[in-house]
Amino acid sequence: MEFKEYLSLSQPELVKRIEQAKREKNALLLVHNYQPMEIQRLADFLGDSLELSRRAAQTDANLIVFCGVDFMAETAKILSPKKKVLLPDHQATCPMAAMVTAQALRAKKRQYPQALVVSYVNSRAEIKAESDLCCTSANAVKVVQSLKDREIIFVPDRHLGEYAARQTGAKLILWEGFCYVHTKFSSPDVQRARKEHPGAKLLVHPECPWQIVEQADFVASTSGMVRLAQNSPAGASFIIGTEVGLVEQLKAAHPDKNFYPLREDAVCKQMKLNTLAKVAWAIENEQHPVEVPEEVRLKAVKALEKMLSIV
């Protein structure tokens, strides 16, 4: 079938085809927390990007379909080189990850030859390959802390880097990258939300600007937010400062608790490019395979393994 033919199929038919293709091809559907709910419901694994890739590497699946953005599928390929990894929409690219190139990073390394490079996992494979070690939003503070007084170039998210620097006292050379969704949040948003939802705790992602982070009751990665919600008593209320896909997930999973988006328009357009039609088409026709050159992959693996040895 041509892709346009999938567009005429009903949602139940698309779901049926996806489930059947998964069985026939021994495939796994990895779904990030920001994906549309109709895709989240079909996930074999649902969560953060690195968490998903690591879990997929531990399975005997032949095929990985990653519903997220480009760097996530690359990370899955880095950790599972013998598996075929598909990205349902090849235009699902992360703007923040694109804010740093290998050439520009190499130039920065020449400028600071004694510095170590710490790259956020929300970066392309070529950036991980140029790094000494990686970090996640959950462990950035531990990674930076482990390097003690070393000079550190932190890429690409300046807000996560600032958060890690403030928590550890380290002096980081911050790349000027950012997540356009998290930088939408402002102090007036916080004031409005607290007024509309008195008593609700403000829970934000460390990709948010510092003026938002310092007003939060809790700061956590998306998986950390999920755990906090799970461990909270019935009736608990939270204002969520991250992409609205996670808010929808939390509302569906915990109807006895209250979740409010810090902004209704906190939407990652790239994350929403994936649809059921694209997933069905990709898995049935094995479209948009992700490739990482072996030389790049081996260097990137070292940066990831170094991180895991620390945390």
pLDDT reading at 310 higher than 90: no
Q: Token pair for residue 106? A: 């190499």
Both tokens of 203, joined, read 């829970």
Average pLDDT of span 285-297 = 97
* pTM for the full predicted model: 0.95
Terminal CA-to-CA distance of the chain, rounded, Å? 46
Looking at every residue in the chain, the average pLDDT score rounds to 96
Q: What is the pLDDT of residues 11-30, one digit of tens each?
A: 999 999 999 999 999 999 99
41 token code pair:
């419901």
- Looking at the chain, the whole-number percentage of residues with pLDDT higher than 90 is 95
Nearest to 31 by CA among 274, 307, 282, 278: 274
pLDDT bin (cut points 50, 70, 90) of residue 50 is confident
d(CA 73, CA 122): 11
Buried b (16+ CB within 10 A) or exposed e, 182-219: bbbbeeebbeebbeebeebbbbbbbbbbeebbebbeeb
The Cα 157–Cα 175 span in angstroms is 6
Q: Residue 255's beta-bridge partner residues?
A: none
* pLDDT tens, position by position, 191-244: 999 999 999 999 999 999 999 999 999 999 999 999 999 999 999 999 999 999
Q: Please answer whether residues 91 and 269 qualify as being in contact, where contact means their C-beta atoms are separated by less than 8 angstroms.
A: no
Q: Which domains does the chain have, with CATH numbers?
A: 3-93+271-291 (3.40.50.10800), 97-178 (3.40.50.10800), 182-261 (3.40.50.10800)
* Residue that is written with structure tokens 């204002």 in the block: 239
